[in-house]
Structure 1
Amino acid sequence: MPLLNKMLFSSSLALGTLIAVSSYSWMGMWLGLEINLLSFMPLISSTKNTLSSESSLKYFITQAMASSLLLFSLILLSMNSPYFIELNILLNVFLNMSLLLKMGAAPLHFWFPEVMEGLSWLNSLILLTWQKIAPMVLLLYSSKTPYLILIVIISCMLVSGIMGQNQTSLRKIMAYSSINHIGWMLAAMMFEEIIWLSYFIIYTIITLNILILFKKMNINTVNQMVVVINNQPNLKLFFSLNFLSLGGLPPFLGFLPKWLTIQVLINKSLFLVSTIMILATLMTLFFYIQVTFSTLTFSTNTTFSMKMPTHLMFFMASSNLAALIGLILVTVAFNLT
Structure 2
Amino acid sequence: MKLMKIVFFMVMILGSLISISAYSWINVWIGLEMNLLAFIPLISFDNLKSSSEVALKYFLVQVTASMVILFSFIYSFNKLGNINDLLYPSQFLFNSAILLKMGAAPFHMWYPNVAVGLSWMNLLILMTWQKIAPMILIMYNFDMNVYFCLIIIISMTVSGLKGWNQTNMKKILALSSINHIGWMMAMMFLNQSLWIMYFVIYIFISTNLVIVLNKYEINNLNDLMMLYNSNKSAKFFFFMNLFSLGGIPPFLGFFPKWLVIKILLENEMYFLASIMIFLTIFSLYVYTRLILQPMILKISEKKKFLKNSNHFIYMMNWFNIIGLIFFTTMFNIF
Contact 2:226 2:302 survives alignment (8 Å): yes
Task: Report the CA distance shift for 1:145/1:268 in structure 2 as closer, same or farther (over 3 A).
Answer: closer
Contact 1:44 1:119 survives alignment (8 Å): yes
- 1:22-71 per-residue CA deviation (whole Å, 9 max, x = no partner) reads 11111111100000000011111223544221211111111001001111
Pick one of 320, 325, 331 that aligns with 1:323. Answer: 320
- Which stretch has the larger CA shift, 66-75 or 41-50? 41-50
The one-letter amino acid of 2:185's match is: L
- 1:224-262 per-residue CA deviation (whole Å, 9 max, x = no partner) reads 111134221111110001000000001111011111111
**Alignment match, 2:125:** 126
**Alignment match, 1:3:** 2
Deviation at 1:286, TM superposition (A): 0.5
Q: Distance in 2 between matches of 1:3 and 1:249?
A: 39
Contact 1:156 1:180 survives alignment (8 Å): yes
Task: Report the CA distance shift for 1:13/1:336 in structure 2 as closer, same or farther (over 3 A).
Answer: closer
Q: Distance in 2 between matches of 1:319 and 1:228?
A: 20
Deviation at 1:138, TM superposition (A): 0.7
Contact 1:92 1:143 survives alignment (8 Å): no
Contact 1:96 1:144 survives alignment (8 Å): no
**Alignment match, 1:272:** 271
**Alignment match, 1:71:** 70
Deviation at 1:325, TM superposition (A): 2.4
Q: Distance in 2 between matches of 1:54 and 1:281?
A: 33
Contact 2:240 2:320 survives alignment (8 Å): yes
Deviation at 1:81, TM superposition (A): 4.5
**Alignment match, 1:289:** 288
- Which stretch has the larger CA shift, 73-82 or 160-169? 73-82
The reply to whether residue 96 of structure 1 matches residue 79 of structure 2 is: no
Contact 2:43 2:122 survives alignment (8 Å): yes
Q: Distance in 2 between matches of 1:28 and 1:55?
A: 27
Deviation at 1:307, TM superposition (A): 3.0
Deviation at 1:4, TM superposition (A): 1.1
Task: Report the CA distance shift for 1:184/1:143 in structure 2 as closer, same or farther (over 3 A).
Answer: closer
Task: Report the CA distance shift for 1:303/1:34 in structure 2 as closer, same or farther (over 3 A).
Answer: same
- Which stretch has the larger CA shift, 70-79 or 149-158? 70-79
Q: Distance in 1 between matches of 2:63 and 2:333?
A: 50
Matched pairs, number: 330
The one-letter amino acid of 1:183's match is: G
The reply to whether residue 52 of structure 1 matches residue 76 of structure 2 is: no
Task: Report the CA distance shift for 1:238/1:81 in structure 2 as closer, same or farther (over 3 A).
Answer: closer
Deviation at 1:130, TM superposition (A): 0.5
Contact 1:116 1:172 survives alignment (8 Å): yes
The one-letter amino acid of 1:329's match is: F
Q: Distance in 1 between matches of 2:282 and 2:30?
A: 38
Deviation at 1:215, TM superposition (A): 1.1
Q: Secondary structure at the match of 1:230?
A: helix
Q: Distance in 1 between matches of 2:238 and 2:11?
A: 33
Task: Report the CA distance shift for 1:336/1:201 in structure 2 as closer, same or farther (over 3 A).
Answer: closer
- Which stretch has the larger CA shift, 220-229 or 297-306? 297-306
Query: What TM-score does the superposition give when structure 1 sets the normalisation length?
Result: 0.93
Deviation at 1:304, TM superposition (A): 2.5
Q: Distance in 1 between matches of 2:142 and 2:255?
A: 28
- 1:61-106 per-residue CA deviation (whole Å, 9 max, x = no partner) reads 1100100111111122234459xxxx93222111110111111000
Task: Report the CA distance shift for 1:183/1:225 in structure 2 as closer, same or farther (over 3 A).
Answer: same
Q: Secondary structure at the match of 2:87?
A: helix
Deviation at 1:317, TM superposition (A): 1.4
Contact 1:93 1:145 survives alignment (8 Å): no
Deviation at 1:334, TM superposition (A): 4.0
Contact 1:92 1:144 survives alignment (8 Å): no
The one-letter amino acid of 1:325's match is: I
Q: Distance in 1 between matches of 2:292 and 2:302?
A: 19
Task: Report the CA distance shift for 1:32/1:243 in structure 2 as closer, same or farther (over 3 A).
Answer: same
Contact 1:229 1:304 survives alignment (8 Å): no
Deviation at 1:322, TM superposition (A): 1.2
The one-letter amino acid of 1:274's match is: A
Query: What TM-score does the superposition give when structure 2 sets the normalisation length?
Result: 0.94
Consecutive unaligned residues of structure 2, counting only runs of 5 or more, are none
The one-letter amino acid of 1:134's match is: A
Q: Distance in 1 between matches of 2:294 and 2:197?
A: 30
- 1:249-268 paired onto structure 2 within 5 Å: 249-268=248-267
- 1:192-243 per-residue CA deviation (whole Å, 9 max, x = no partner) reads 1111111111111111111111111111101111113422111111000100
**Alignment match, 2:183:** 184
Q: Secondary structure at the match of 1:319?
A: helix
- 1:1-337 paired onto structure 2 within 5 Å: 2-47=1-46, 49-81=48-80, 88-144=87-143, 146-307=145-306, 309-310=308-309, 313-335=310-332
